[in-house]
Amino acid sequence: MGARRSLARLGSALLVAALLGSAAPAAAVPPEKDELKLGFIKLTDCAPLVIAKELGFFEEEDLYVTLEAQANWKILLDRVISGELDGAHMLAGQPIGATIGVGTKAPVVTAFSMDLNGNAITVSNAIWKRMQAADPKLAGPRPSHPVSARALVPIVEEFKAKGEPMRMGVVFPLSTHNYELRYWLAAAGIKPGFYTNGDSTGTRDADVLISVTPPPQMPSTLEQGTIQGYCVGEPWNQQAVFKGIGVPIITDLEIWKNNPEKVFGVTAGWAQQHPETHVRVVKALIRAGQWLDASPANRKKAVEILARPEYVGADAAVIANSMTGYFEYEKGDRREMPDFNVFFRYFATYPYYSDGVWYLTQMRRWGQIPEPKPDAWFDATIRSVYLPAVWRQAAERLVAEQHLAPADLPATDGYKPPDSGFIDGVPYDGRKPNAYLRSLAIGLKD
Amino acid sequence: MLDVRQLLRTIGAPVMALALFVALWSAAAARIETSIGALPGPGQVLLAARGLVAEHRAERAREGEFTTRMEVKRRAALAAGEPWRDRQYAGKPTYFDQIATSLATVFTGFLIASLVAVPLGVLCGTSPTVYAALNPLIQLFRPVSPLAWLPIVMILVSALYTSTDPLFEKSFLSSAITVALCSLWPTLVNTALGVASVDPDHLNVARVLRLPWYVRVRKIVIPSSLPWIFTGLRLSLGVGWMVLIAAEMLAQNPGLGKFVWDMFQNGSSETLAQIMVAVFTIGGIGYALDRGMIALQRAVSHDVRAT
């Protein structure tokens, strides 16, 4: 040991000599805090954090980061708010919900969108068989996609007639999955239930009861029959295929093309006290996203890293199923889907106001926001949560360091042009949230 | 003289039982198919244990590489006249780190419990009024599960422990306090019983000698109730160790409980074998802690009958 240490010292001394020969970099502001503890949930979309650490992007920013898996989204958010974690992998709805006080109230902000898409809805084998029986288009080994929830309507009715409504799982009341599953059901006329002041479970007037289960427990909860289906991120849909306990029937990419999924969240207080650290974290994360989307070979390497037990920990084969440009619906029905996980392309890392406003509209649509709000409120709220200025500062430094091309920075005021990439074709304009709410058939109208 | 039958019973019987257990386990493992693969047999569990050791070594090697990189940066900073501060290696805790965390947590909780329970027990034992007053509370809180205490403790720790540069992690404190809350009862009750059953003659002598109360407690009450107190402490440590695993699962304290939970969340083909390694580790450490307490009890109280 001693001999090895001194050998290492000698080696490093030589390296120092080599480094000193090169020009010293311009003196930069040091980070306010360089030992950080960041939380994540065991899902493949925690990849930017894991890659930034494992490939040394954090260390290049003089950040020494510990990544810690958290038991569930609630504990993760509470620990960020209490300061035990400096920041974390969060559901896009979490910083918004926390800021406006849906659930735990505390100002949480984000300057980095971690990925697009990456979720799917899985139903049990029995439900899938009945859906296939109800709709001939779904029969056979390669049914036509996207699968509408219309085939589910008679099954939902049957469950209701028995007095035992159908149950489905999502991972958190504020999660993208909750809104995606609700959107998909409502697009076929199935009422997913409303949140009211007296009912924080969101099951009032519901055709399907939606409940909360942590992502890694989804497959076992489905297997036990507690729920008949769920909406979750990977690898937990592919896990169902592997275990033969369920069938992923639709990806969120087919519900809303290129929807924003996870973000990197910190408290507003933390962001204020650590502006330089924040920019550096975002820099490292943008580079990780870029690396992840750079080549299929990188994705393969990412799968191998994510499969380690301290990160996602699922078997590499399961993770690879969705991370390498394919998606397997039923066993054997493997289809090419290069956009299932997007970490960088389409300006995926930029925190668009319009993406955040969509979540606000859904919170209002289902009653989590208890009273109507004017359009100006939506804009003001999202500007207090999404911090594209921090992203831009990080990206511009990366351009100066020649890690990014100027074209990698979107020319935008934060609002995307009206988007009609939804399964029911209803267009969405983030500047007119109330008009959008009125255009949706099911849900609160203003 | 060597009594063969005695020898057979003390060594042969446990070995036979162990062999039977392993055989039954292997037979069952081959037949039970779960959603994440077959139930692992003894061989796979041994392999998983080796894997954890290998991971520990690999992590230490990475730490070595980090130290080297830091040394380069340190020299560069010093040569450029910039300030330098040493950084801790931010790697993942290995299985052995997790065992160490669990032990530190359980002993902290146990220490808190003992500091509360022994004095309170002495008080209860010496004063029937205090005992009568506290008894309903003791009976009320004694059977409460750690999973019920933990959320309360976590919220209180978050609210009350707000140092900017905390000495302990909140998750560590929450777990240790939960362990303390669940494990102080056996010590409390046993100390009270022990103190109450001190030979009245001894106390009468003390009264005749007009010994002040603290001398009475120190010279007579504590020594004669030591066997009781130690029995209580031993039970408390056992309860604390059992409770700790559950507390760590939810409090996110990076010990064995979190290991079990994380592996469960992984849902990989390795999961079951790794959790079984943890089960054997937890059992083994629990057993060792118990034997340690017995040795301590013997040493302190000269009670050779303690088993």
Question: What does the pLDDT look like over B81-109, one tens digit per residue?
Answer: 888 888 888 888 899 999 999 999 999 99
Q: Cβ–Cβ of A75/B252 closer than 8 Å? A: yes
Q: How confident is the model at residue B163 (pLDDT cuts 50, 70, 90)?
A: confident
Place of tokens 């003894």: B42
Residue-level pLDDT at A16: 43
pLDDT value at B166 more than 80: no
Length of chain B: 307
Residues 6+ apart with CB under 8 A from B133: none
Question: Are β-strands A262-267 and A108-113 bridged in parallel, bridged antiparallel, or unpaired?
Answer: antiparallel
Structure tokens given for A37:
């503890």
Is the whole-model pTM more than 0.90?
no
Mean per-residue pLDDT of chain A: 91
Residue A235: cis peptide before it, omega within 30 degrees of 0: yes
Q: Is the ipTM of this complex over 0.85?
A: no
In chain A, residues with a C-beta closer than 8 Å to the C-beta of B61 are: none
CA distance, residue A436 to nearest chain B CA (Å): 38
Place of tokens 């949706």: A440
CA A256 from chain centre, in angstroms, equals 13
Mean pLDDT of A380-384: 97
pLDDT value at A198 more than 80: no
Whole-angstrom Cα distance, residue B186 to residue B239?
9
In chain B, residues with a C-beta closer than 8 Å to the C-beta of A312 are: 266
CA distance, residue B180 to nearest chain A CA (Å): 22
Selecting from A15, A16, A42 the residue whose C-beta is nearest the C-beta of B265 gives A42
CA atoms within 13 A on the CB side of A190: 28
Distances (CA, A) of A432 to A100, A417, A422, B256: 19, 11, 17, 51
Give yes or no for a contact between A42 and A218, defined as CB atoms under 8 angstroms apart.
no
Residues 6+ apart with CB under 8 A from B230: B293, B296, B297, B300, B301, B303, B306
Distances (CA, A) of B262 to A77, A312, B47: 18, 9, 19
Give yes or no for a contact between A252 and A418, defined as CB atoms under 8 angstroms apart.
no
Residue-level pLDDT at A2: 44
Residue-level pLDDT at A48: 97
Mean pLDDT of B170-179: 93
pLDDT value at B1 more than 60: no
Residue A192: cis peptide before it, omega within 30 degrees of 0: no
Question: Chain A contact for B274, CB < 8 A?
Answer: yes
Specify which residues A38 forms β-bridges with.
Answer: A67, A87
What are the tens digits of pLDDT across the range B104-152? 999 999 999 999 999 999 999 988 899 999 999 999 999 998 889 998 9
Q: Cβ–Cβ of A219/B267 closer than 8 Å? A: yes
CA distance, residue B67 to nearest chain A CA (Å): 9
Q: How confident is the model at residue A10 (pLDDT cuts 50, 70, 90)?
A: very low
Question: Chain A contact for B170, CB < 8 A?
Answer: yes
Whole-angstrom Cα distance, residue B181 to residue B195?
22
In chain B, residues with a C-beta closer than 8 Å to the C-beta of A321 are: none
Residue B227: cis peptide before it, omega within 30 degrees of 0: no
DSSP E strands in A262-363: the ranges are 262-267, 326-328, 334-336
Structure tokens given for B216:
């009475």
| Alpha helix segments (H runs only) across A112-203 | 125-134, 153-161, 176-187
